[in-house]
Amino acid sequence: MSLSHLYRDGEGRMDDDDDERENFEITDWDLQNEFNPNRQRHWQTKEEATYGVWAERDSDEERPSFGGKRARDYSAPVNFISAGLKKGAAEEAELEDSDDEEKPVKQDDFPKDYGPKKLKTGGNFKPSQKGFAGGTKSFMDFGSWERHTKGIGHKLLQKMGYVPGRGLGKNAQGIINPIEAKQRKGKGAVGAYGSERTPQALQDFPVVDSEEEAEEEFQKELSQWRKDPSGSKKKPKYSYKTVEELKAKGRVSKKLTAPQKELSQVKVIDMTGREQKVYYSYSQISHKHSVPDDGLPLQSPQPPQPGKEAKAPGFALPELEHNLQLLIDLTEQEIIQNDRQLQYERDMVVNLSHELEKMSEVLEMVEECERRMQPNCSDPLTLDECARVFETLQDKYYEEYRMSDRVDLAVAIVYPLMKEYFKEWDPLKDCTYGTEIISKWKSLLENDQLLSHGGQDLSADAFHRLIWEVWMPFVRNIVTQWQPRNCDPMVDFLDSWVHIIPVWILDNILDQLIFPKLQKEVENWNPLTDTVPIHSWIHPWLPLMQARLEPLYSPIRSKLSSALQKWHPSDSSAKLILQPWKEVFTPGSWEAFMVKNIVPKLGMCLGELVINPHQQHMDAFYWVIDWEGMISVSSLVGLLEKHFFPKWLQVLCSWLSNSPNYEEITKWYLGWKSMFSDQVLAHPSVKDKFNEALDIMNRAVSSNVGAYMQPGARENIAYLTHTERRKDFQYEAMQERREAENMAQRGIGVAASSVPMNFKDLIETKAEEHNIVFMPVIGKRHEGKQLYTFGRIVIYIDRGVVFVQGEKTWVPTSLQSLIDMAK
């Protein structure tokens, strides 16, 4: 059977014989019954399954039904169906225009023969059944057919991620209206009459179709499967790099981070080619040219078949390829290096141009200052205006200002103005004159790096040089005219400038100018003839000079000692002269001075004291007791033990042996005891002496049993003894309580509970108990031993022995003596 009747003729018309034609077009019946679950289905027969489209059917204009196959009557005459009249060109244009409006089509507008034809099984749908033509069913009944099935549609949607109650789509956005169908004009193929998208589809999915891009993509993919008709070999394609690409690559590689730089140095073994190649970075692999072999096809390489040998390449020179690749790499690196060097030079030019512009502005400001410094200038430069110019330089041109030679600039401009400013200055009359302006110039000229290193290089610091060459001459001139005994103006002047001038200049003033004047004045001082006490013009220098005055103390003590040779304790002026020096001299030197010059005089005075209960003169006793705060307690107790208590006890014994009045003895005992302070009474030696006096009185009362005795004398003496002993006990308990409280406040309890490991720890513990500062002196040693400060005393420890610094040598001492000296 010929198939020529299935094709159109040359004029595009179909053959008249439609018996063997299968109509594949979508009819209106298909659209209406697509979603109808109750539609009558066509079951494929055995003949249709065997022959397919060539199987015989009853009629092409009616859908097959389940009523069975009806034999066709070929003897019947041929019936023709009218297709209507051919429309003109004008009518077709009107029809196309009307199609653009896309008006909704109602069911009543369809012709009778436009709907689905009735099947032979007895008609179409029942009247009770609802049609599925577009627009005839409400949206509320959409999907109602699901209840007539087993729910396979809902299950499939759930497997694909559908959530009930939410819309379809990637973002569950859904669509408001159901999918609309658009009626095609004729019976042509899909897209034959242009775009078939409805307005609703354009609104929901605004995607513009590009037919040209799709066609181009299709042709590109199709060309990959076509074989070259000429049969010639494809030419190899080479990839080229321009100079700009190399430069851009070099700039990017220059900004690699640390991990990327490490990866760029990894050793790489390339086994993708015919031979194994070794690269020392991933960048070398990217530098290779992609040159395909001439004899290889475009497809991926296939393994060689057994029995066939691989075809050798026609041109293979690995040495030459390596050399060429090496030349290419060197050339690329040279291009990249040259580009970087060029970029560096350009940046340098831009930077230098900015620097030149700034330096020109700085030069203009400096030249303006020099112009106004000329003698005949109508607008001379003042010191405040010059300071503002330097502030501008420091704020706007900080780097240039710091890198410039400020010393020469200040010498040329600032120094003349500063000399003019201090020309009429008298430091002793106006000590604060110029402090503000000098403080401002200190922030402008002082070199911070020099301060951090603690140097005093005049050539490197403009401010130090300014103070030394401009300010110091005025100070030297005034110090030469200054009288040391009038110390207050000079002390006030240096106190005002101590935080402004450099430290080394202050040291120079104190060591080279002030101290020689004080030393010379001390040498000329005579304590017997001078009416002005020496401490009145020496002590004001203690805050500034401190240890610098130590060399003056020895001649002062020597002169005082000479003046006290003919002194008598009745003269109270000696105490007024010596008392201010008690806190200035070291404890050891002060104690030595007292023992040498004062204690012997007081002992002589006590030796001359006459104890007479009936007519007692207390002047000598008062002269001695008045020095209690000046001499140590141990020295005072020694004087009492040697010169007072023996005579006092002897008088008591004599009085008790002559039938005394015990009430008078009791008053006499209590009166003498009240003459001493609590600190003296707490001393064990003094306490023993008064207890000895009580024992003598008790023995005297108990020994006169048969003799006449004053009534109540024994009871009075016993009561006195009991009262005195109780006072001593209460005083000791109170002292122990005070010491415990002090230790608790200082947190010594924890330290006291631990046993000291060595002698140094023992000294540290004692220092904490007595609230004395004990710390090492940094960078100071004596014979390899570390020096320490124990209060104001300098000591060192050697083999468990404490050595104290004396006037000429180091003296060993005990721990208790060290504590007394520190106090």
Which has the higher per-residue pLDDT, 176 or 87? Answer: 176
What number is the average pLDDT over the span 315-340?
87
Mean pLDDT of the 622-635 span: 90
- pLDDT above 80: residue 58: no
Say what the pLDDT of residue 163 is: 81
Q: What is the mean pLDDT of residues 314-339?
A: 86
Residue 161: which region, alpha, beta or left (left: phi > 0; alpha: psi -120 to 50)? left
pLDDT of residue 744: 67
Task: Identify the weakest region by mean pLDDT among 7-21, 42-56, 462-476.
Answer: 7-21
Q: Which of 9, 28, 22, 233 is nearest to 110 (CA)?
A: 28
The count of other CB atoms within 10 Å of the CB of residue 106 is: 11
Q: Is the pLDDT of residue 379 over 60?
A: yes
Q: What is the pLDDT of residue 590?
A: 92
Determine the residue type at 595.
Answer: V
Asked whether residue 123 carries a pLDDT value surpassing 50, the answer given is no
Per-residue pLDDT, averaged over 31-40, amounts to: 70
Higher pLDDT, 667 or 194: 667
**How far is it, in rounded angstroms, from Cα 686 to Cα 695?**
14
- For 336, 337, 344, 455, 723, the CA distances from 254, given in Å and listed in that order, are 10, 11, 13, 43, 99
* Contact between 749 and 727 (Cβ < 8 Å): no
pLDDT tens for residues 70-79?
555 556 565 5
The pLDDT assigned to 699 comes to: 81
Residue 262's pLDDT is: 58
Statement: residue 229 has pLDDT above 60: no
- Given a cut of 70, whether residue 679 has pLDDT beyond it is yes
**Sorting pLDDT into bands at 50, 70 and 90, what band is 495?**
very high
Asked if the model's pLDDT at residue 470 lies above 60, the reply is yes
Q: Which of 98-112, 612-626, 649-663, 749-763 has the lowest mean pLDDT?
A: 98-112
Confidence of residue 54 (pLDDT cuts 50, 70, 90): confident
Residue 544 has pLDDT above 80, yes or no: yes
- The values of phi and psi at residue 107, to 5°, are -70, -30
3-state secondary structure of 470: helix
pLDDT at position 371: 78
User: Between residues 334 and 168, which one has the greater pLDDT?
Assistant: 334
For residue 712, the model assigns a pLDDT of 59
pLDDT of 515: 93
- Mean pLDDT, residues 549-578 taken together: 90
The mean pLDDT value of the chain amounts to 75
Burial track 151-186 (b if 16+ CB lie within 10 A, e otherwise): eeeeeeeeeeeeeeeeeeeeeeeeeeeeeeeeebee
* Average pLDDT of the residues in 454-471: 73
297 band by pLDDT with thresholds 50, 70 and 90: very low
Task: Identify the CA nearest to 444 among candidates 493, 495, 494, 409.
Answer: 409
Long-range contact pairs involving 141-144 (C-beta distance under 8 Å, separation at least 24)? 142/178
pLDDT at residue 216 tops 90: no
pLDDT of 140 strictly over 50: yes
Top-confidence residue, 473 or 745: 473
Higher pLDDT, 79 or 432: 432
Lowest-confidence pick of 225-229, 400-404, 538-542, 593-597: 225-229
Give the pLDDT score at 490. 92
Residue 67 pLDDT exceeds 70 = no
pLDDT (mean) for 546-559: 91
| DSSP assignments along 640-663, one per residue | HHHHTHHHHHHHHHHHHTS---HH
pLDDT at 391 over 70: yes
Confidence band, pLDDT 50/70/90 cuts, at residue 511: very high
Confidence of residue 274 (pLDDT cuts 50, 70, 90): confident
Place of tokens 């004047």: 517
Q: Whats the size of the chain, residue-wise?
A: 823
Mean pLDDT within 404-424:
77
Report pLDDT for 457.
57
Separation of first and last alpha carbons in the chain:
140
What is the CA angle 106-108-114, rounded to 5?
95
What local confidence, expressed as pLDDT, does residue 695 receive? 85
Tell me which of 504 and 5 has the higher pLDDT.
504
Which range, of 16-30, 390-404, 541-555, 666-680, averages the lowest pLDDT?
A: 16-30
Q: What is the pLDDT of residue 555?
A: 92
Token digits of residue 648: 């006092």
pLDDT at position 253, please?
A: 62
Average pLDDT over residues 538-566: 91
- 140 compared with 544, residue with greater pLDDT: 544
Q: What was the pLDDT predicted at 452?
A: 39
Q: What is the pLDDT of residue 420?
A: 85
The amino acid occupying position 182 is K
Least confident of 120-124, 318-322, 755-759, 813-817: 120-124
> Please, which pLDDT band fits residue 706 given cuts at 50, 70 and 90?
very low
Q: Which one is predicted more confidently, 39 or 541?
A: 541
Q: How confident is the model at residue 143 (pLDDT cuts 50, 70, 90)?
A: low
Dihedral of alpha carbons 200, 202, 203, 204, sign: positive
DSSP string computed for 492-520: HHHHHHTTTS-HHHHHHIIIIIIHHHHHH
Q: Output b/e per residue, 232-258; b: 16+ Cβ within 10 A.
A: eeeeeeeeeeeeeebbebbeeeeeeee
Q: Say if residue 356's pLDDT is above 80.
A: yes
Confidence at residue 119, expressed as pLDDT on a 0 to 100 scale: 37
